[in-house]
């Protein structure tokens, strides 16, 4: 069973379920557009279709992203003298083309930014906003009951005002050096000339029949004339996306939020026969990115900094780390079931607080003491027991209040189709950005060459119970709660790690467990990312199928946990910053790479 013996091993990768991901996309067209360095970052593909990932080293600049073409575009921007802000624009616009199921300009993002000149960490909130016409009952049927998830998703109802384009412009204005329109050229070229459909993209298109093919535009783009998913290796062109990026290149973000592109977005939102949306031209024109103070939590002498509300990421990661810091995980190690009892139940307690208290703090008064050391010490005391916490023992705590609202627990759906990338430039600036359209292929509605998000389904469908409100209920202009956890870890004020992952609400344990592996078990970034997943958010301990994590089942059952075995398809990317240079890691479960100079 020993997890510590699996890192970088073909045994771990070959045993994972086929179809979770692919290595480098097939086809000579893609191969010719990636550098030898990108290929060298991968070992040969093995039976499962995965590629064993190796630690990538660089002297001064690096990109770790979910697709080789996107990583290459970012590295090219750095090589031209660009900053991490410049590379971010190139990476995101290519990702939106070649990985449309995960992110794009029709979605939103959270950015954690380290400014080398000032030595400060700040965050930028590019999360989608609810339409001004939205009400708390947006996702209730005519009987007042929550809609089935995909009944809410597919169509215009789930679409919020996208934030990615304004976020790209905001950080480029703040810290970019290269010309804005030049940064869009790699994506424009790929959209015009075509890119090769990867095994992963093909599998996801095939698996989304019945939803992605319900809009004529999306059906014509993702399926052939016979209704079959685009084949692996076929060349996909997107001239509409190229034209959209050309407009944004000439007019800036206003060319997206106003004018013809905006009109096409609203037309797509309102055109769905059974599920039209409420988004308006006024909602798009009013959209703003918000710069927010980073939320930082201590762990073993380090500062773990990330995104605060409307993301629950940094607060929940910080709570888990605060609780487990009371235990000697280094001595216990990753092979001891006791380690996973502590981590699993700490995660459950943190998620109980998350469900009750966390939401868009511009709309909801939150407790100020969620990361209070004494509060977390008290919560950690609940873990000092020989067996798993019972269901009745896992409930929201009573943190220091400072005028927080009383409210009830709420649940919302979060889907794992998101992407994360990390960029470090030669000046030491760092971008750690998690970007998403929410569910795979978002709302399944295309406009002007890109997919529109379904982020509004991250709100709680049920807004209240017995007259008490849920924190994460729908409200006009509000940003839905997220689990996205872009993170930068500092040591004595200097960046040490930058990382993040997709994965819905599993993002939080993915990132937390990776930090524990880095800090407590002294793994390098690739080893920590390779770690088989064990996650417990709401009471059932899920063990990653086809990995040595399965062998913990008997021990965790004996400790009193409910357990299940399932796919845990993270997309972790991270970079370690050392005095000798940079070390990058990419998730073997997906097709991403790290590359640098």
Residues 6+ apart with CB under 8 A from 216: none
- Are residues 552 and 559 in contact, defined by beta-carbon separation less than 8 angstroms? no
The residue behind tokens 């083309």 is: 97
Q: Active-site residues: which are they?
A: 418
Collapsing DSSP to helix, strand or coil, 106 comes out as coil
Q: CB–CB of 319/370 below 8 Å?
A: yes
Which of 290, 358, 248 has its CA nearest to residue 129? 290
Give residues with Cβ within 8 angstroms of 588, minimum separation 6.
Answer: 12, 13, 16, 21, 50, 51, 52, 53, 529, 530
CA distance 386 to 367: 31
Angle at 55 between CA 54 and CA 59, to 5 degrees: 140
User: What is the spatial distance between Cα 45 and Cα 26, in angstroms, rounded to a whole number?
Assistant: 11
CA distance 441 to 589: 19
Burial class (CB in 10 A: 0-12, 13-18, 19+), 250: exposed
Distance CA 174, CA 289 (A): 13
Largest CA distance in the chain: 63
Residue 504 in tokens: 């819905």
> How many Cα atoms sit within 13 Å of 505 on the Cβ side?
21
Is residue 351 reached through a cis peptide bond, with omega within 30 degrees of 0 on the bond before it?
no
10 Å Cβ neighbour count for 301?
8
**Distance of alpha carbon 569 from alpha carbon 590, whole angstroms:** 8
H/E run at residue 502: none
DSSP 127-166: --B--TT--TTTTB-TTSPBPPHHHHHSSSTTPPBP-HHH
Contacts 24+ apart (CB under 8 A), 216-219: 217/268, 217/445, 217/446, 217/447, 218/441, 218/444, 218/445, 218/446, 218/451
């Amino acid at each position: 069973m020993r997890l510590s013996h699996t890192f970088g091993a073909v045994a771990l990768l070959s045993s994972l379920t086929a179809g979770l991901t692919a290595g480098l996309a097939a086809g000579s067209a893609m191969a010719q557009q990636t550098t030898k360095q990108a290929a060298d970052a991968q070992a040969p593909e093995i039976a499962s279709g995965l590629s064993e990932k190796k630690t990538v080293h660089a002297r001064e600049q690096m990109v770790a992203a979910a697709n080789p073409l996107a990583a290459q575009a970012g590295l090219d921007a750095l090589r031209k003298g660009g900053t991490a802000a410049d590379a971010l624009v190139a990476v995101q616009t290519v990702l939106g083309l070649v990985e449309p199921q995960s992110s794009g300009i029709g979605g939103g993002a959270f950015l954690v930014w380290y400014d080398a000149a000032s030595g400060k960490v700040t965050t930028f909130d590019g999360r989608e906003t609810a339409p001004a016409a939205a009400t708390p009952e947006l996702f209730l049927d005519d009987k007042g009951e929550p809609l089935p998830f995909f009944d809410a998703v597919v169509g215009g109802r789930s679409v919020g005002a996208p934030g990615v384009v304004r976020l790209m412009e905001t950080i480029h204005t703040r810290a970019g050096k290269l010309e804005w329109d030049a940064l869009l050229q790699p994506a424009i070229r790929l959209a015009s000339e075509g890119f090769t459909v990867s095994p992963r993209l093909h599998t996801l298109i095939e698996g989304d029949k019945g939803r992605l093919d319900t809009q004529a535009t999306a059906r014509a783009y993702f399926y052939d004339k016979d209704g079959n998913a685009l084949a692996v290796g076929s060349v996909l062109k997107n001239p509409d996306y190229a034209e959209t990026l050309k407009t944004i290149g000439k007019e800036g973000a206003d060319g997206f939020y106003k004018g013809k592109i905006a009109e096409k977005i609203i037309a797509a939102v309102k055109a769905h026969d059974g599920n039209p949306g409420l988004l308006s031209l006024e909602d798009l024109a009013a959209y703003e990115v918000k710069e927010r103070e980073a939320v930082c939590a201590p762990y073993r002498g380090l500062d773990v900094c990330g995104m605060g509300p409307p993301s629950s990421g940094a607060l929940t990661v910080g709570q888990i780390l605060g609780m487990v810091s009371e235990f000697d995980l280094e001595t216990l190690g990753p092979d001891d079931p006791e380690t996973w009892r502590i981590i699993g139940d700490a995660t459950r307690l943190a998620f109980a607080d998350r469900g009750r208290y966390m939401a868009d703090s511009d709309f909801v008064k939150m407790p100020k003491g969620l990361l209070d050391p004494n509060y977390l010490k008290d919560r950690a005391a609940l873990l000092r027991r020989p067996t798993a916490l019972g269901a009745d023992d896992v409930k929201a705590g009573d943190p220091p209040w400072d005028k927080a609202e009383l409210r009830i627990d709420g649940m919302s759906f979060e889907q794992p189709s998101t992407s994360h990338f990390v960029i470090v430039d030669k000046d030491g600036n760092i971008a750690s950005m998690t970007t998403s359209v929410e569910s795979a292929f978002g709302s399944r509605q295309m406009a002007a060459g890109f997919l529109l998000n379904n982020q509004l389904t991250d709100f709680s469908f049920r807004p209240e119970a017995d007259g008490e409100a849920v924190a994460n209920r729908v409200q006009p202009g509000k940003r839905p709660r997220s689990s996205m956890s872009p993170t930068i870890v500092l040591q004595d004020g200097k960046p040490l790690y930058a990382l993040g992952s997709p994965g819905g609400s599993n993002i939080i344990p993915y990132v937390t467990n990776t930090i524990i592996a880095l800090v407590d078990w002294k793994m390098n970034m690739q080893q920590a990312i390779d770690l088989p997943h064990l996650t417990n958010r709401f009471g059932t301990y899920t063990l990653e199928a086809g990995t040595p994590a399965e062998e913990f089942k008997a021990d965790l059952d004996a400790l009193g946990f409910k357990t299940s075995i399932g796919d845990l398809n993270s997309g972790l990317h991270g970079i370690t910053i050392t005095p000798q240079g940079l070390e990058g890691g990419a998730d073997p479960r997906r097709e991403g790479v790290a590359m640098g100079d």
